[in-house]
Structure 1
Amino acid sequence: MGLARRRRTLGYSQEKLAQLLGVDRTTVGRWESGRIAPQPLQRRALATALDISLHELDALLTPPRTASEERPGQQLSDPPKAGDPDEMIRREFLRILTVSGALAALPAEEAEALTAGVRRGTPADFARMNSHLWQVYQLARSKGSVYPVVHAQLTTLNEALAGKQRGNARPLLSAAADLFQLAGEVAFDANRYADAAASYALAASMSRDAGAYDLWACACVRHAYVDMSEHRYRQAAQILGVAERLAGRGDKALSTRHWVASVQAEAHAGLGDLNACERALERAEEVRELSPDSVNGGWLRFDGSRLAEERGARYVRLGRLDLAEETLREALQHTALASGQSLRRRGAVLTDLAAIGVKRRDPEQAVFYGREAVELARASSSGYIARRLRDLCDEFGPLSRDHRVAELGAEIATLSTP
């Protein structure tokens, strides 16, 4: 296999490569045989260890298995693992689908699995329930705990949609677009990127059919996060450009366009463009001029309260550590005082502060903030914080020779990613 050949060319045994990546030797063997594929975070680490790009790694990975090669007991309908080449192609297709809103282009079996349902309920009932679910999601320690209720609500909503003519169902389509965005958020937090992408694609399509431009723009923004989770910043910038145009056709009293600008700043930071990042942040700051009614607490929650931590994170990405640290310390104080503060938000700020320590080769700062972030990841079962911390490990470099940093890395390795 190509992967095994590349490993041997570099002089690695399976045991040595497994040790470098923090996985079992049998895992490396299963990658090389094509029985499983590396997860997204593992792909980056594997590509680095093999001194190749992610694109080159994709070419080395074994093509998807045929049905006869499935593991005993595995259902043929099981989704491919994140990181499989065919899985990545599917996510790219869904990203394009989100832009076009072409639900009809989905394979029939996938569309049926995601939209199948039966009949009942009123738009007002669904709007109230969706609003409640977003509040539960925001306050939940473990985001995955919300999924069973979201699934039940989707089933009931689809029952109602099945009894409506397409042209008469705009309020229900808006409610469905809202709920699919929440379903996508739950999946994204659990690192289930394909499920998140599918949910956002459906949300975009239904928003289009409902004529709800702000909803549609928000679905595109959330889809951009799927790209940025794998450092695909150019693709994210493309879809955010679509979101910007959609928000321009939406309700000017809402904060949609400001949220788009805030996330565009993240994409620009990923591309290393400080000036574009600063301009986008300035547009996002204009949200403070809007009334409190500019957000709905559900699919649109951007009110500017997170701008300090977001600005700090952008500066970390750009390597402006002086600007980043001051901003993030201020954000950390704010998150400590905020009532009902999201553990995920605080964990992200702590991880960014730890990253500053890593970049400065300051083991004390890296470990101090990193350990607190680990505790929050455990308390919340957040795949998002775990993913951020594992990205942090990729940057340890020579600092990993410090026993405190090595211990932190071992703690991070124990975090589960649902």
Structure 2
Amino acid sequence: MSGRRQRLIQRRKTLGFSQEELAHALGVERSTVVRWESGEREPRPWHRPKLAAVLRVSLEDVDAYLACQADERPEAERLARALAEPAAVDLVTAAHRAERVQHLTAEYDSSPSTSLIADAGRCHSQVALLRASAPNRRIRRELCTSAAESATLMGRLVWDASQRRDHAVPVRYFDQAIDAAREAGDPMLEAHAQLRKGFVALYGTKNVREGLRLCEETVTAGRSPGNVLTGLGLLHVGEAYAMLGERRDCEKALGAAEDTLARLGRDDEARHLFSPSQFGRLAGSCYLFLGLNDKAERILAASARQPVRGKKSQAIVLGNLALARLRQGRAEEACGPLHEAIDLIEATRGGGGFNIAFTAGRELSPWRHERWAQEVGDRLFCLMAA
């Protein structure tokens, strides 16, 4: 077979692998991956199950990723035909839609949700239409997987774009994602959507007991697909206990999360959901809720120095660091990280960071006559006006 395998290349890049990293995950030489992508060589039969696992696709669907671009019609032509005749959708078109969903998801943490929501909504609608008319089980399973991912993304975007005020619509999207994930037989996607529902309960409706229940269910569901979702679920279980003022249970959950995430392997299907700063971000938040502001500051300051997955997450770390300093009476010192958080919020309009920044702004009111506090207030006013 000759011709570059563009879809295999794009899939690798979407998942964040370099050729060398993919080779390491598969236990082969980089030159082998180069030959696969160039179309010079076919993966051996014993490589295909591992390749499917690392690419997070079914074994049956690996063939579509190994098809050479020269043998395919243009993506736009395939999509237009499938949308006109949904029953004619093929595996390649389904895989192209999956890649588009993953690309939009990768943009979430660094782009304003309002800039993504139209494209994401269009893609979600296309996937839903094609899923309903899929001509066979293999194609329907691929589209169910995409539907779970796109519904989860839409829930996140709507909640974020509403500054975490619209709770009902995101939950409906997350329920759609859970339904599609169950049909696809993908417990990782189901657990991820369940965890997102937990976030709405914890930070949106403020129903902490319900959020705790949902996060505990994520821990149970996450044990099968791997450590990442189990660990993330435990972190948010700890945060729920902190909101309830139950320090002992909070620290027990944090300890279990730390142990779980320490065992994280490269082949974990949900690895893309994890970043090194995540534990510190959530642990710092827990100690803020518990009123242990000096401990929260130490953890958050260390977390702010670590690599983060995206600007929205970093804004939350910096906003909470500002709150930890404010609550120790060190208001002027809080302004540095708060300004940094506002810089990121101006670029991303992230709902979580936005809410934390305004909380810090309100807590700065005793110092409102100070020049440095007025500068923060002016920036927050501009954010609100925008």
TM-score (norm. length: structure 1)? 0.63
In 1, Cα distance between equivalents of 2:108 and 2:231? 22
Retained in 2: the 8 A contact 1:295–1:301? no
Task: Give the CA RMSD over aligned residues.
Answer: 2.8
* Residue of structure 2 equivalent to 1:208: 182
Retained in 2: the 8 A contact 1:387–1:417? no
* Residue of structure 1 equivalent to 2:119: 149
- Please give the residue correspondences for 1:12-411 in structure 2 after superposition, counting only pairs within 5 Å: 119=86, 120-122=89-91, 123-138=94-109, 140-164=110-134, 169-190=140-161, 191=163, 192-230=166-204, 231-248=206-223, 250-251=224-225, 253-285=226-258, 286-296=260-270, 301-302=273-274, 304-335=276-307, 342-396=310-364, 398-400=366-368, 402=370, 404-411=372-379
1:94-149, Cα deviation, whole Å (9 max, x unpaired): xxxxxxxxxxxxxxxxxxxxxx99823534333333332222334x3323322222
Deviation at 1:315, TM superposition (A): 1.4
Retained in 2: the 8 A contact 1:118–1:155? no
In 1, Cα distance between equivalents of 2:328 and 2:85? 57
Q: Could you say if the C-alpha distance between residues 417 and 127 of structure 1 is closer, same or farther in structure 2, counting changes exceeding 3 Å?
A: farther
Deviation at 1:328, TM superposition (A): 1.3
Retained in 1: the 8 A contact 2:202–2:208? yes
Deviation at 1:167, TM superposition (A): 7.0
In 1, Cα distance between equivalents of 2:210 and 2:313? 25
Retained in 1: the 8 A contact 2:277–2:304? no
Retained in 1: the 8 A contact 2:218–2:229? no
Retained in 1: the 8 A contact 2:177–2:193? yes
Equivalenced residues, count: 294
TM-score (norm. length: structure 2)? 0.68
Among all aligned residue pairs of Structure 1 and Structure 2, give the percentage whose two residues are the same amino acid: 22
* Residue of structure 1 equivalent to 2:36: none
Retained in 1: the 8 A contact 2:120–2:154? yes
Deviation at 1:306, TM superposition (A): 1.7
5+ residue gaps, structure 1: 1-115
Q: Could you say if the C-alpha distance between residues 349 and 305 of structure 1 is closer, same or farther in structure 2, counting changes exceeding 3 Å?
A: closer
Retained in 1: the 8 A contact 2:228–2:270? no
Deviation at 1:181, TM superposition (A): 0.7
1:334-364, Cα deviation, whole Å (9 max, x unpaired): 24xx6xx522122111111110122112221
5+ residue gaps, structure 2: 1-82
1:287-314, Cα deviation, whole Å (9 max, x unpaired): 22121121446xx512554212221222
Retained in 1: the 8 A contact 2:228–2:268? yes
Retained in 1: the 8 A contact 2:188–2:270? no
In 2, Cα distance between equivalents of 1:117 and 1:151? 18
